[in-house]
Structure 1
Amino acid sequence: MPKDTRDAATVTTAPATAASGQTAVLYRMALPNHLCPSGQKARWLLDRHGYDVDDRLFRDRPEVDAFKQEHDVQTTPQIWIDGERVGGYDALRQKLTDYDPKTKTYRPVIYLFAVAAAAALALSIGFLGAITWQTLGWFISVSMILLGMQKLRDIESFSTMFLNYDLLARRWVPYAYIYPWVETAAGVLMTGMLLTWLAAPAALIISTIGAISVFKAVYVDKRELKCACVGGNSNVPLGFVSLTENLMMMGMAIAMIVLLFT
């Protein structure tokens, strides 16, 4: 524990009084069987932003319950800055950084495509000794696997979001549950260049339906929706990214079908 931590039971100074200037007051759990992760992150964030932390630790559950009742809060940790209660870790993060849980962002997709690109380069250099057109193919197929896994991680949330715009899923709900399995399986087979006769047509079908659905929802109906491309509960806007995902799959599938019959 940091040297400036104290047991909450031994502290009598009110948090609003102690929290002044560059001193922040932090109450967090450090029970025998539970060291609160959010409390640890709150401590780190306060240190990072130059605060002297009055770190007050709860050592047993009755202390936590009494604190919640006294301050009329539902959770810990709780932080005070400049004499005012900020709230928990998420509230502190919003106060000290630009974090906003409701802000739309492309960051998850950027990270995913970056990993797919790195994997494609590793496969190309490791197995082929050079960057070739196959590198692009691996980038697309690995992206499909990663995108599919994001959807399968919470298929219920994905299916709910997907039903907002996919034309086939809105007519036949089971398709919302089938789609991520097909995308993932097609990506695996394409990466291994196996069963092309099955993987390529499957990818072409779901990507064509997806592209038409996204184009209609965004560019025809002008709807502002969140994209289900990286799974449910994401803040990625529906539009260019999802359309690109589907167009990449379409291009890959068409190329593989052409190669299959030449």
Structure 2
Amino acid sequence: MAQKNAQLYRMVTPEHTCPWGLKALDLLKRKGYAVEDHKLTSREQTDAFKASHDVATTPQTFINGERIGGYDDLEAFFGKAPKDENATTYTPVIALFAMALLMALATSWAAFGNLVTLEAAEWFVAFSMALLALQKLRDVDGFATMFLNYDVLAQRWVPYGKIYPFAEGLAGVLMISGALMWLSIPVALFIGTIGAISVFKAVYIEKRELKCACVGGDSNVPLGFVSLTENLMMVAMALWMLFKPMGWGL
């Protein structure tokens, strides 16, 4: 079998190593190419290369004398469809709930030496609330703006959109600790009920197609089942904590 060869030109200076260049080098090697790795070691050298090949960016890959292009072009050359930045995806939500579940199981094992416990289920919901709040807190203003598209309370009192992430985080952390249930239960019950009503109204009654603010204002998660589940989980957790023995805590 003939050796497959490629030439890669990427920026590597004392101040900056181009990450896309490293990714292109790794991809070519994984595809079985022997790579002539040409490092552009200064801004002047990089600018001269771009001018001589009439390209706007580096890295640039050449295979069999033909310019393939940058990293995205290289992925396309190997058959990978280009990523649609605006495409809807459930990946952030799946990752978040999976991590919350693993954290709950790990905590249950550390506390009781058993993975499957009632406390693990409680911790799963509480960890999920805290992690969802963290996603919103990355950009409170962005979340609040997206939240205004469908939340019935935020549409009537705009500051509620910025209060919501803090309230959700507070309720989640208190439920993890088992402390101050007299505070966490009504908070979770209130925001969960308003949220469930808002999502149900927007999606299932008005039939609107919106993005969910549940994992932050920059998400492409569609509003619907996921956000409704988030809110119903909070309501269910609050009711469970309220009615189980010694539910109000200290």
- TM-score, length of structure 1 as denominator length: 0.82
Deviations 1:131-190 (A, max 9, x none): 222211100000111111111122233223222222222222222211111111110000
Change (3 A) 1:198 1:124: same
Deviations 1:54-102 (A, max 9, x none): 4322111111222333444443223345766554334444554345233
Change (3 A) 1:60 1:162: same
Change (3 A) 1:161 1:26: farther
Question: What SS is found at the alignment partner of 2:167?
Answer: helix
User: 1:193 aligned to 2:178?
Assistant: yes
Q: Cα RMSD between the aligned structures?
A: 2.4
Greater shift after overlay, 57-66 or 21-30? 21-30
Change (3 A) 1:224 1:52: farther
Paired amino acid for 1:144 = M
Change (3 A) 1:29 1:161: same
Question: What SS is found at the alignment partner of 1:254?
Answer: helix
* Aligned mate of 1:254, from 225, 239, 245: 239
Question: What SS is found at the alignment partner of 1:225?
Answer: coil
* Aligned mate of 1:122, from 106, 120, 123: 106
- Between the aligned partners of 1:84 and 1:215, the Cα distance in structure 2 is 54
User: 1:31 aligned to 2:24?
Assistant: no
User: 1:111 aligned to 2:95?
Assistant: yes
Paired amino acid for 2:60 = Q
- Between the aligned partners of 1:151 and 1:82, the Cα distance in structure 2 is 48
Paired amino acid for 1:62 = E
User: 1:210 aligned to 2:195?
Assistant: yes
Alignment partner, residue 142 of structure 2: 157
Paired amino acid for 1:51 = Y
List alignment gaps of at least 5 residues for structure 1. Answer: 1-20
- Between the aligned partners of 1:162 and 1:200, the Cα distance in structure 2 is 22
* Aligned mate of 1:48, from 27, 30, 41: 30
- Between the aligned partners of 2:10 and 2:142, the Cα distance in structure 1 is 32
Alignment partner, residue 159 of structure 2: 174
Aligned residues: 242
* Aligned mate of 1:233, from 214, 218, 222: 218
List alignment gaps of at least 5 residues for structure 2. Answer: none
Question: What SS is found at the alignment partner of 1:32?
Answer: coil
Report deviation, 1:214: 1.4
Question: What SS is found at the alignment partner of 2:10?
Answer: strand
Report deviation, 1:226: 2.0
- TM-score, length of structure 2 as denominator length: 0.86
Check conservation: 1:25, 1:54, Cα contact below 8 A: yes
- Between the aligned partners of 1:91 and 1:54, the Cα distance in structure 2 is 18
- Between the aligned partners of 1:146 and 1:104, the Cα distance in structure 2 is 21
Question: What SS is found at the alignment partner of 2:188?
Answer: helix
- Between the aligned partners of 2:112 and 2:232, the Cα distance in structure 1 is 26
Question: What SS is found at the alignment partner of 1:28?
Answer: strand
Check conservation: 1:76, 1:88, Cα contact below 8 A: yes
Question: What SS is found at the alignment partner of 2:12?
Answer: strand
- Between the aligned partners of 1:224 and 1:51, the Cα distance in structure 2 is 45
Greater shift after overlay, 156-165 or 181-190? 156-165
Check conservation: 2:104, 2:124, Cα contact below 8 A: yes
Percent sequence identity over matched residues? 57
Paired amino acid for 1:249 = M
